[in-house]
């Protein structure tokens, strides 16, 4: 199979990952079929051998000198180090081997060196940040002055674009170390221990003598993975390694023209998981030249608010439609309930650990399993919510014909000063996951995702840039809050989230020439707001037809009279007389069918709280389903929806 991907004009290559399960295999030497349990056992032996070598490499080179040498990119002879981590480690002479008496081939050693090299390369950025903070340590770690902020950013490489929240969190970590040990750490290697070694096997560092992958010619979703696995946990000779053929079924998201790469194998809950990377061509997202953009604003209860804006040739920006919202109050309510349960379980487990009673060992093990189960539930719920929200935002862009999505860069948002409950809700939102999945889905259709500075997006009016006045919503006069915005200058008013997405889309279109690609993560970003460009980032109101002008500009739309109610075609048969007061048969019921139970009531954070005794909860407490708790308002663009009642006759 050719590993070179042919590209057409306007296309670029994109590498993604698909998770699959390896259910079975066949030992090619004996012809014996391997069940999922036996296959997981043999893969586990191989990963244990690789993990032991990774741990020895990390323990030997977990220091500032080794990490700096690897990050310098040149060897002792001045030659440039290869991009592959295992080749770079071998050039530097950093070798490892299995335990004495255990035979492993050179490709397993490569996989171990690749995993260790990636971990050592990734720690370089953290080491530079910690070194810069220690070099400009403030007089009061809890509050830096303006001069101290400038000093710490100058001491960190690339510190002018580093988020303030990263510097604050690292400062708190160092302060805690000083409080416990009585002195400041020398570097990050004293501050943090060596990272935990993940139990996985990187087949990407191997060649055909250890593993190979081939796609079926007849069925595009079938793949044959062949690899060498040990027949015992401590192989004594090379004959203890045999070839195993594993059929793998690809998910439908993998295109038929994609180039497959060797996967990474992991053992999860006694099953073999394969993280299969593949490369396929997609439309190239443009950095400049956007005329239609979608602005996305974050929220807590209303998770996403989005709408479309258009940049006209004369430089004016108008909004297309009134926007839409993605609300997930029911899902978030369930997430808050699981968080409370997790906190209670952790508190109980800590209490059992402090008691140190042998009779509580069984209870501790049960609590540990329950904590793991709740954590998995929370992770799965967050993952599903992130995918649903990201898919909704990308679908809005595709429907509107937009070529770019602008969203706020809220990585620096910190929870503080807003109350204990609100702080927790802000800190546990899934903004980062939604942004990552939004980039992943938008890349498939050639739509760029650009982050912009979030300053004053909800504070200033989208039409005149004057400060807004916030108050409670007029449709909820009894509920206090600040969701409704009113401009005292141009008299615009509306939901503050609806005004925020207008500001985000207009700012992105006006500053699109300032879009750059972040070299550290490869994402598109607008770093600063330019006052001259910000003055043009206003939404021009669409002129409305005066109500006093009654002149006809088009034919009058035909209208029908109100349809007659539906009646029974024949009289009802005679029935025995029933209890007095029963409604006689006559008109057919004209009411609408009832909605699903989870959509009947307004969902809030108290939807699935602990019910009172004797009360039977409904909706989320009875498992009404994920999609009944994530509501998305349909987009309303410039073109009105067709009226189905026009030219409709009687329903008799």
Q: Give me the residue spans of the domains in the chain.
A: 11-46+200-283, 51-191, 292-335+382-534
CA distance 9 to 553: 46
Phi-psi region at 441: left, alpha or beta (left = phi > 0; alpha = psi -120 to 50): alpha
Q: Mapping DSSP to helix (H, G, I), strand (E, B) and coil, where does residue 17 land? A: strand
| Mean pLDDT of the region 240-263 | 93
Q: How confident is the model at residue 479 (pLDDT cuts 50, 70, 90)?
A: confident
Which stretches of 511-553 are assigned E, i.e. beta strand? 516-517, 524-525
How does the average pLDDT of the chain come out, rounded?
83
Distance (Å, whole) CA 429 – CA 413: 11
* pLDDT > 70: percent of the chain: 80
47-56, 127-136, 349-358, 448-457: lowest mean pLDDT where? 349-358
Query: How crowded is residue 361: how many other Cβ atoms within 10 Å of its Cβ?
Result: 11
Contact call for residues 392 and 635 (beta carbons, < 8 A): no
Measured distance CA(584)–CA(631) in Å, rounded: 40
At 651, the pLDDT band (50, 70, 90 cuts) reads very low
* Predicted pLDDT at 574: 60
If you average pLDDT over residues 632-638, what whole number do you get? Answer: 56
Beta strands in 284-360 (DSSP E): 292-298, 302-311, 317-327
Q: Average pLDDT for residues 456-469, to the nearest whole number?
A: 90
Question: CA 500, CA 485: separation in Å to the nearest integer?
Answer: 10
| Topology given in CATH for the domain delimited by 292-335+382-534 | Nucleotidyltransferase; domain 5 (3.30.420)
Helix (H) or strand (E) holding 485: strand 484-486
Task: Provide the whole-model pTM.
Answer: 0.77
Residue 37: in which H helix or E strand, if any?
helix 36-61
Q: What is the pLDDT of residue 615?
A: 46
Whether the pLDDT of residue 638 is over 80: the answer is: no
Q: Per-residue pLDDT for 50 more than 60?
A: yes
Backbone dihedral region of 214: left (phi > 0), alpha (psi from -120 to 50 degrees) or beta? beta
Lowest model confidence (mean pLDDT) among 27-41, 204-218, 594-608: 594-608
DSSP code of residue 309:
E
| Euclidean distance between CA atoms 485 and 502, whole angstroms | 13
């Amino acid at each position: 199979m050719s590993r070179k991907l042919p590209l057409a004009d306007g296309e670029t290559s994109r590498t993604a990952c698909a998770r699959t399960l390896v259910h079975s295999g066949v030992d090619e030497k004996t012809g014996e079929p391997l069940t999922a349990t036996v296959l997981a056992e043999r893969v586990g032996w191989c990963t244990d051998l690789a993990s032991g070598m990774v741990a020895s490499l990390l323990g030997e080179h977990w220091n500032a000198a080794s990490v700096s040498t690897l990050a310098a990119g040149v060897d002792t002879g001045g030659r440039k180090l290869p991009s592959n981590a295992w080749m770079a480690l071998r050039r530097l002479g950093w070798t490892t081997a299995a335990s004495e008496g255990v035979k492993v081939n050179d490709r397993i050693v490569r996989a171990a060196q690749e995993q260790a090299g990636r971990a050592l390369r990734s720690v370089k950025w953290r080491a530079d940040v910690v070194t810069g903070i220690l070099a400009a340590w403030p007089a009061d770690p809890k509050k830096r002055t303006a001069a101290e902020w400038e000093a710490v950013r100058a001491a960190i490489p690339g510190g002018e674009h580093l988020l303030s929240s990263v510097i604050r969190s690292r400062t708190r970590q160092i302060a805690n170390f000083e409080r416990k040990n009585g002195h400041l750490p020398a570097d990050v290697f004293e501050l943090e221990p060596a990272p935990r070694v993940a139990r996985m096997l990187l087949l990407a560092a191997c060649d055909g003598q250890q593993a190979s992958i081939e796609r079926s010619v007849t069925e595009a979703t079938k793949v044959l993975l062949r690899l060498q696995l040990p027949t015992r946990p401590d192989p004594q000779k090379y004959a203890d390694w045999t070839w195993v053929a594993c059929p793998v079924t690809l998910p439908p998201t993998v295109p038929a023209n994609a180039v497959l790469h060797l996967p990474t194998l992991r053992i999860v809950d006694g099953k073999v998981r394969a993280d299969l990377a593949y490369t396929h061509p997609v439309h190239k997202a443009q950095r400049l030249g956007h005329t239609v953009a979608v602005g996305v604003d974050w929220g807590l209860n209303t998770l996403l608010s989005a709408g479309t804006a258009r940049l006209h040739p004369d430089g004016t920006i108008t909004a297309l439609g009134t926007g839409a919202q993605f609300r997930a109050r029911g899902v978030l309510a369930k997430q808050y309930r699981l968080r409370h349960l997790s906190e209670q379980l952790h508190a109980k487990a800590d209490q059992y650990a402090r008691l140190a009673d042998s009779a509580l060992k069984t209870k501790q093990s049960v609590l540990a399993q329950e904590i793991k189960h709740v954590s998995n539930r929370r992770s799965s719920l967050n993952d599903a919510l992130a995918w649903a929200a990201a898919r909704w935002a990308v679908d809005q862009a595709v429907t509107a014909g937009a070529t770019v999505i602008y969203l706020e860069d809220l990585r620096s948002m910190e929870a503080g000063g807003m109350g204990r409950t609100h702080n927790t809700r802000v800190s546990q939102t899934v903004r980062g996951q939604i942004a990552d999945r939004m980039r992943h889905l938008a890349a498939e259709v050639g739509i760029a995702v650009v982050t912009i500075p979030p300053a004053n997006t909800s504070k200033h009016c989208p039409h005149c840039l004057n400060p807004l006045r916030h108050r409670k919503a007029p449709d909820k006069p009894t509920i206090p809050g600040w969701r409704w915005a009113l401009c005292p200058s141009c008299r615009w008013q509306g939901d503050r989230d609806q005004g925020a997405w207008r500001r985000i889309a207009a700012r992105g279109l006006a500053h699109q020439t300032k879009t750059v690609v972040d070299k550290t993560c490869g994402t598109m970003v607008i770093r600063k707001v330019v006052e001259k460009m910000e003055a043009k980032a206003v939404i021009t109101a669409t002129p409305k037809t005066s109500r006093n002008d009654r002149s006809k500009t088009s034919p009058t739309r035909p209208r029908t009279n109100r349809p007659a109610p539906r009646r029974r075609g024949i009289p009802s048969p005679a029935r025995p007389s029933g209890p007095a007061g029963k409604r006689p048969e006559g008109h057919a019921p004209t009411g609408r069918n009832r909605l699903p139970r989870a959509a009947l009531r307004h969902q809030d954070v108290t939807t699935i709280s602990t019910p009172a005794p004797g009360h039977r909860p409904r909706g989320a407490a009875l498992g009404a389903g994920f999609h009944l708790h994530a509501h998305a308002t349909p987009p309303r663009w410039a073109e009105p929806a067709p009226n189905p009642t026009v030219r409709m006759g009687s329903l008799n």
